[in-house]
């Protein structure tokens, strides 16, 4: 099996959460990592991509951090839900006041 390019390996390492920048989850990009460099005619030098890949694969905070469980993925924190309900209630209140003002205005 042919070995994937350095940007592909780097993207897989980042998507796997080994860089410490994000939770392990695939991130489908409109322009995959390295596409801009190749389109500009200046692909990432193999030595530079290997150095970045070695840094990502090394001991990082992501390896020592507790893993995110499947139960915690995709959950919206309770405070955020309360905030959305609060602003929805305020918007409905303003809409009701606008309707009342329109109905109560004499012609």
pLDDT digits (tens, 9 = 90+) for 12-56: 777 777 776 667 666 676 666 667 777 777 777 777 767 777 776
Contact yes or no for 61/20 (Cβ under 8 A) = yes
How would residue 75 be classed by pLDDT, with cut points 50, 70 and 90?
low
Name the residue with higher pLDDT: 57 or 13. Answer: 13
Q: What confidence score (pLDDT) does residue 67 get?
A: 55
Q: Is the CB of residue 72 less than 8 Å from the CB of residue 25?
A: no
Dihedral of the alpha carbons of 31, 35, 41, 47, in degrees to the nearest 10: 150
């Amino acid at each position: 099996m042919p070995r994937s390019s350095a940007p592909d390996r780097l993207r897989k390492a980042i998507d796997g959460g080994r860089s410490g920048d994000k939770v392990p989850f695939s991130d489908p990009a409109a322009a995959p990592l390295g596409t801009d460099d190749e389109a500009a005619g200046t692909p990432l030098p193999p030595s530079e991509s290997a150095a970045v890949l070695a840094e990502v694969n090394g001991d990082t905070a992501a390896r020592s951090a507790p893993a995110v469980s499947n139960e915690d993925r995709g959950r919206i924190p309770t405070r955020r839900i309360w905030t959305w309900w609060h602003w929805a209630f305020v918007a409905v209140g303003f809409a009701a006041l606008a309707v009342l003002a329109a109905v109560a205005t004499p012609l």
